[in-house]
Amino acid sequence: MTETPISVSELLTDPAGVPRARAMLQRAEWAGRAFARYDKPAVDAIVGAAAAAGAARAREYAERAVRETGFGVVEHKVLKNVACSTGVVEHYAGHDYVTPRVDAAAKVVEVPRPAGVVLALTPSTNPVATVFFKCLLALMTRSVVVVSPHPMAKEVCADAARALGEAAVKAGAPDGVIQVVDEPSVPLIDALMTDERTSVIVATGGVPVVRAAYSSGTPAIGVGPGNVPVLVDATADLAKAARRIVDSKSFDNSVLCTNESVLIVTEQAATALLRHLKQAGAYLLAPDERDRVAAMLFPGGRFDIRFVGKDASWIAAEAGLRVPNRTRVLLAPFDLVVPEEPLAHEKLCPVLGLVRVPTARRGIDAARAVLRLSGRGHSAAIHSADPQVIMEYGAAVEVLRVAVNVGNSLGSAGLETNLAPTMTIGTGFFGRSSVGENLHPSHLVQWTRLAYNRDPAEPFGDFSGLTPWQAPASRNGAVPPYPVASNQRGDHPATASGGGQAYRPARSELNGSDASALREQIRRLILEELSQLAGG
């Protein structure tokens, strides 16, 4: 007999696993239906538990993300993982996306209705933080999530999503509240996007992914790429500006869409700024060095993804350059922002284009030119003390957020400004997106408005103390409850409710003093990470 394997491969009618993905959506539909009736305390307990589970493994996932994708900086990813778990939850602590709102003057009651099934497409560059962020936004609004991670980061993302899901379910969330695709593929993602059980797609990734989301026929929130100009004029505190730009450009080795791409500086400020940039860890490439780096990064005019998220010293070494040990950013000077200039395009590594302009007005033109290449709607930065220049810049550049006197990486992402902290930057109509703000929980909840007759003769109802939601109740702590035979249920028959989901979860561990102790611990962790980051 031969040793040849025997298989009947034609019986594998769907190698991409599409049917299994559809089963996930149907499970998600059930879970979403149950979750949509939870009350605020139950939701808070679930959100807190999921965030804590994410934060507790922030470092582990940061290390694994760098290992799996081969890019980024562990310390910076730790920071983002914490910011996008407990950080985001603390930011929205006072917000309520669950309880109905009553406006007696307008005679309107607003009842929050969650999105339902959120399909979260997450990128390779910002893998775990984006998974955390989207899952938690969904949990806050009582939506359920199916995560489809970027294939390059699928393992760590799947584990991260499961960790949050398990913690959420343990705290009382319905079974299947967070699910994840283990083997993402184009046909699989297409099936998920076009399935009518998907309520909304939240897509972060490359242009093709985002366009596909919008083309699917399913409501979508997609965000496009960045190509961030940063303008510095002579009124700026140049020492601070230089430090902020170098910190921000080198953050996570520049894999974020918010990392600066082209630095535009007025002649008046240039010499001093360059001196400060050098002190902060930037290395100014000489013309021949610049050409070597440009040729290496953009062979044939296209960015070589080999360099995504690699650090400046490594890139310099690859180009055969000797640069100081402490180099964090390579400054690549060029004259004109035009399509044929490779260095004017998005560079997902710590190489920062440098353009000198005679005036701030010319700088604004250059910034507009950067955004004509790509990154419309995304973000820009400016370092200046002149409100008139800042206003003109903001009114001229085609982006929907401008980080002022702060690094763009964490500024436009809302971690160092008072914008909504986010891993998903709405690029708006400029960027062919439906959302122009930083993604926040409100984007995943809509409101049914009970609008009374305006005629004063028609009285408005008394809604005080009324809520349609309840704490889920369960015989055995699970939602749905385990199907125990009706003659073995003892004295605790299931209570009836509209959707059959009236079951009480096990109380979360996040109660009272435990919760505040945990918050304190997390706050300490964030501070520690921040100080490490500031230290270099």
Partner 1 sequence: MTEELISFASKQDMLAKSKQFWNPDKTQFWIDSGVPLVIDRREGYFIYDVEGKRLIDVHLNGGTYNLGHRNPEVAAAVTAAMQRFDIGNHHFPSLARTALAEALISTAPDGLTKVMYGSGGGEAIDIALKSARHATKRRGIVSVAKAYHGHTGLAVATGDERFATLFLADRPDEFSHVPFNDTDAMEAALKARDVAAVIMETIPATYGFPLPAPGYLAGVKKLCERYGALYIADEVQTGLMRTGELWAITKHGVNPDILVTGKGISGGMYPVSAVLATEAAAGWLTEDGFAHMSTFGGAELGCVAALKTLEITGRPEVRSMVHYIAATFTSGLSTIQAQYPDWFTGIRQDGLVMGLEFGHPQGAKFVMKRLYENGVWAIFSTLDPRVLQYKPGILLTPAVCEELLERTEVAIAKARDDAAKGARP
Candidates 15, 20, 314, 385; binder of partner 1 (CB under 8 A) is: 20
> Quick check: 132 binds partner 1 (CB under 8 A)?
no
State the nearest-atom distance from the C-beta of 36 to partner 1, in Å: 11
> Quick check: 34 binds partner 1 (CB under 8 A)?
yes
84 catalytic residue (yes or no):
no
Q: How many Cα atoms sit within 13 Å of 283 on the Cβ side?
A: 23
Of 114 and 441, the one with the shorter C-beta distance to partner 1 is 114
State the nearest-atom distance from the C-beta of 499 to partner 1, in Å: 7
> Quick check: 27 binds partner 1 (CB under 8 A)?
yes
Of 301 and 493, the one with the shorter C-beta distance to partner 1 is 493
Of 13 and 464, the one with the shorter C-beta distance to partner 1 is 13
108-114, strands of its sheet edge to edge: 101-103, 108-114, 445-451
State the nearest-atom distance from the C-beta of 229 to partner 1, in Å: 46
* Residue located via tokens 């791409």: 261
Q: Cα–Cα distance between 422 and 419 in angstroms, integer? A: 9
Of 12 and 105, the one with the shorter C-beta distance to partner 1 is 12
Nearest to 257 by CA among 210, 300, 213: 210
For residue 487, CA distances in Å to 343, 490, 492, 504 come to: 73, 7, 11, 21
Question: How remote is the C-alpha of 78 from its chain's centroid?
Answer: 14
> Quick check: 495 binds partner 1 (CB under 8 A)?
yes
Q: Cα–Cα distance between 58 and 75 in angstroms, integer? A: 10
Of 113 and 524, the one with the shorter C-beta distance to partner 1 is 113
> Quick check: 33 binds partner 1 (CB under 8 A)?
yes
> Quick check: 151 binds partner 1 (CB under 8 A)?
no
Taking contact as CB under 8 A, which single stretch among the options 172-180, 209-217, 317-325, 334-342 is the one that binds partner 1?
A: 172-180
Indicate the burial class of 307 (C-beta count within 10 angstroms; 0-12, 13-18, 19 or more). buried
Candidates 48, 72, 127, 176; binder of partner 1 (CB under 8 A) is: 176
> Quick check: 4 binds partner 1 (CB under 8 A)?
no
CB 174 within 8 A of CB 208: no
Give the x-and-dash track for 268-287 against partner 1 (CB under 8 A): --------------------
Candidates 499, 517, 524, 527; binder of partner 1 (CB under 8 A) is: 499
> Quick check: 23 binds partner 1 (CB under 8 A)?
yes
Candidates 487, 513, 531, 535; binder of partner 1 (CB under 8 A) is: 487
Candidates 4, 418, 464, 488; binder of partner 1 (CB under 8 A) is: 488
DSSP 219-273: -EEEE----EEEEE-TTS-HHHHHHHHHHHHHGGGG-STTSEEEEEEEHHHHHHH
Of 48 and 174, the one with the shorter C-beta distance to partner 1 is 174
Of 117 and 316, the one with the shorter C-beta distance to partner 1 is 117
> Quick check: 14 binds partner 1 (CB under 8 A)?
yes
> Quick check: 8 binds partner 1 (CB under 8 A)?
yes
Which is the catalytic residue, given 135, 157, 257, 349? 257
Candidates 63, 396, 500, 515; binder of partner 1 (CB under 8 A) is: 500
CB 284 within 8 A of CB 274: yes
State the nearest-atom distance from the C-beta of 179 to partner 1, in Å: 8
In terms of phi and psi (left: phi > 0; alpha: psi -120 to 50; beta: otherwise), the region of 382 is beta
> Quick check: 5 binds partner 1 (CB under 8 A)?
no
Taking contact as CB under 8 A, which single stretch among the options 206-214, 311-319, 453-461, 495-503 is the one that binds partner 1?
A: 495-503
DSSP run (H or E) holding 118: strand 117-121
Interhelix angle 40-56/154-170, nearest 10 degrees: 140
> Quick check: 31 binds partner 1 (CB under 8 A)?
yes
Candidates 19, 217, 299, 387; binder of partner 1 (CB under 8 A) is: 19
On the question of a cis peptide bond just before residue 480, with omega within 30 degrees of 0, the verdict is: yes
Taking contact as CB under 8 A, which single stretch among the options 25-33, 80-88, 160-168, 510-518 is the one that binds partner 1?
A: 25-33
Q: What are phi and psi of 47, to 5 degrees?
A: -60, -45
Q: Cα–Cα distance between 426 and 400 in angstroms, integer? A: 8
Of 86 and 179, the one with the shorter C-beta distance to partner 1 is 179
DSSP 119-173: EEE--SSSHHHHHHHHHHHHHHHT-EEEEE--GGGHHHHHHHHHHHHHHHHHTTP
Q: Cα–Cα distance between 293 and 187 in angstroms, integer? A: 37
Q: Based on DSSP, count helices (H) and strands (E) in the chain, helices before strands.
A: 17, 15
State the nearest-atom distance from the C-beta of 180 to partner 1, in Å: 12
Q: Which residues contact 96 (CB under 8 A, 6 or more apart)?
A: 40
- Active-site residues, by number, are 257
Q: Which positions touch partner 1 (CB under 8 A)? A: 6, 8, 10-11, 13-14, 19-20, 23-24, 26-27, 29-31, 33-34, 175-176, 179, 480-488, 493-497, 499-503
